[in-house]
Structure 1
């Protein structure tokens, strides 16, 4: 529904920095930082990622036969040794209340299915005569996590379990639900069951689906009817090839972006990541400063949700400045007509790369947003015909270009019928707002 997530969500997710191990204190530290430094710029959601119910969670992997914290009906509860406010069956309600008091939204992660431990114990499904064994599909399981069985949606116990699980999350005050192992392979009945349970819960909850390895745009109508966010790739980390691969994916998905239905290019592996994560050791992001700007610009111009993956309080201050750049939240929320306009291979050998141009416009005035990316390993001066960015009629006017990453930079006058001539760093971007600077001059005389 467009009333839920009318613009792409912006927030923080614990996965890239803490993996399965995040604690209540770390969640609150990030929430407080966000409320103070980033909320004015649109960042408003805090998400606790996977395994918050595992008291033995560790970095760099998952635990087989983990002693998951469950209630009497097989539903996950926060592990009290990591989330002390969850003691005595309070769940995430106290933590969610503290996040809400900061003016933020609260999200959690779930894995597709029902806990194996609930099935082993034969726990009853709330409000029914069935047990977890009736709801489970023992032949369906996640390939990379051992916690759950799938659900047997031919048995009504499956929907009853999902309804009870989502109802409990809603009662805690959850605003976003990220559900994993949903799209690769694609599980349409799971998606529909979750959407149905959210409607029945009576709470507006953003449904985010992962991971999107090999996801086709043929699924777009079904996804848009049942979820608000869906990943279009496997996990993305702080490697240039991961960022580069998203150009093609987001060009494919950009025409499908609309209010309440957002293709997600994955979390932002920026700032301090790997603290106790799945991959790599404690580090500041290995992406260069130019690659970080490229990543953020592509995500914004393609209107992907933005979920910061680095620990906010201990990230490089330069990264926080990037996130707080006014154009990031504004263009993400307000632009229209977003899409790739041009992709041209140039050079050869060590000088080879692609010029990739994205465009969008402001619905409020005549402003056009233009991102000129260069994927090569060496800097290049890129010449882009104004008509390729604006169309031949608009290009007949004189325009002024403002650098969106550096608001103090000199404004660049662009002659009518001219070109954009921009110095772009390796793996970098020039991100511009183009505004008309005068009436259209007469067209050039014919010769």
Structure 2
């Protein structure tokens, strides 16, 4: 039987491409060893900043092609489809929330308008809209798209919203492999404050873990390598649902990187986050404004001691290039409002602070100058392989971060000009007990700068940064 779009008719449809359990001969990824994934901060591209909730298959495939040809050799390997991929045309109406926001609408009698926008299988699991993703027709899901991404040498990622869809609750669909239904596990009073599609899942109810298990069993059958789970940390912090997601990944038979959103993550839950996720958002949605970038200096400083193999504090995406295409909800279509010096500050901070690196812009219209920020292997090396990353100090006018290369003892030094005027910044190497003579290399310029001892000085543009490697002589 064919999967039906009309939820009102979807009582006993059969999904043609049913999810397959993981290979029983393969070890599951346990809480103890999930950190073998994301041994270094994940690097990739996410569709949200440019396309909001409206990326389609053709555009996504072209982006994957671009990444394979221009970015993969530098380490950018995750290609992530962001939210509401089950909707054929999200955001094409005015809502009380804001124009373009894909909230659920209701009839005059209060019945939700599910049939016009939701694709869901018989077990209450959302599946891609074939209007936007033609290869998902007849319930095929993202399997073909995942195979295409893998054929290009990349890894396939998707966004999900925490919980179970309201349509599954409304039609009381069964939980796969159980005698329970959506109404047995859903919490109708627990909804996302900015996207009203989902109800929370009550961890204490029988069938709750099985529901999440069925989701990740499905995602594993599609070849998903990365899941961004949204509405997990925005107050309140959903500790038990995060744990259910973790267990579901462990049981799905496929290694999947878990990214939690949105922030700011509560610092008091750092140990819980490190035990359950590979990366988590420490900032709110990050856009192209200097005040937000300035705030992230403090956030990254607070979280720097919690970074390590398999668990990374995520400062959010890189809004370089063209973003907010077609005047999406996050402002007019535009090239990034960051000045070029601010580009250097952002990329330097994300790299020496070891944040995951996710490009947010439209890669299909990117300029060579913007692309160059993503192709500097010497700068990216700091993000991937440096250690002991930390802020030394921050004042109103400047900030200094340092790190080391554990393989050879080289040092990394980032000087940030936080003021509105070009100025000299001098760093006393004694502050970090760097007491040798050093050959200095400018990593952005890719050139050697001579020998220093005792202190280093550089003239830095307003809101700009420099990044040096110091090699002991």
For Structure 1 versus Structure 2, the TM-score category normalised by the shorter chain is: over 0.9
CA distance in 2, matches of 1:330, 1:209: 25
Q: Deviations over 1:304-348 (max 9, x none)?
A: 000000011212221111110112321111100000012234xxx
1:434 match: 470
- Worse-matched range after superposition: 62-71 or 79-88: 62-71
Q: Distance in 1 between matches of 2:262 and 2:329?
A: 15
**Would you say the 8 A contact 2:415–2:465 is kept in 1?**
yes
| Whole-angstrom CA distance in 2 between matches of 1:278 and 1:330 | 35
Kindly indicate whether residue 194 of structure 2 is the aligned counterpart of residue 144 of structure 1.
yes
Quick check: 1:267–1:306 contact (8 Å CA) kept in 2? Answer: yes
Q: Secondary structure at the match of 1:95?
A: helix
**Residue aligned with 2:337, SS:** coil
SS at match of 2:207: helix
SS of structure 2 residue aligned to 1:413: strand
1:121 paired to 2:171: yes
Equivalent residues of 1:272, 1:316 under 8 A apart = no
Gapped runs of 5+ residues in structure 2?
1-33, 93-99, 106-113
Query: How many pairs are equivalent?
Result: 421
Question: How big is the shift at 1:148?
Answer: 0.6
What SS is found at the alignment partner of 1:70? coil
Paired residues of 2:232 and 2:260 also in contact (CA < 8 A): yes
TM-score between both structures, scaled by the size of structure 1: 0.92
From 421, 425, 429, the counterpart of 2:457? 421
Structure 2 CA distance for aligned equivalents of residues 54 and 71 of structure 1: 13
Distance 1:383 1:64 in 2: 55
Alignment of 1:1-400 (within 5 A): 1-58=34-91, 60-65=100-105, 67-185=117-235, 186-213=237-264, 215-276=265-326, 277-345=328-396, 354-388=397-431, 390-391=432-433, 394-395=434-435, 397-400=436-439
Moved over 3 A (4+): none
- Alpha-carbon distance between aligned partners in 1 of 2:166 and 2:395, rounded to the nearest angstrom: 51
Question: 1:412 — aligned with what?
Answer: 450
Over aligned residue pairs, what C-alpha RMSD do you find? 1.2
* 1:144-189: CA deviation from partner (whole Å, max 9, x where unpaired): 1011111111212221111101110011000001011100120100
Unaligned runs of 5+ in 1: 346-353, 438-447
Cα separation, 1, equivalents of 2:304 and 2:36: 20
- Kept in 1, the 8 Å contact 2:180–2:206? The answer is no
User: Partners of 2:132 and 2:409 in 1: how far apart?
Assistant: 51
- TM-score of the two chains, using structure 2 as the length reference: 0.87
1:350 equivalent in structure 2 = none
Q: CA deviation digits over 1:189-220, x for unaligned, max 9?
A: 0100000000110110011101112x332211
Cα deviations by residue, 1:221-258 (Å, 9 ceiling, x for unpaired): 11111110100011000111111110000001011101
What residue is the counterpart of 2:22 in the other structure?
none
Distance 1:218 1:122 in 2: 37
What's the CA shift string for 1:358-415, capped at 9, x where partnerless? 0001111121010000111111111111212x41xx32x21121111111x452321x
Deviation at 1:282, TM superposition (A): 1.6
Distance (Å, rounded) in 2 between the aligned partners of 1:381 and 1:326: 27
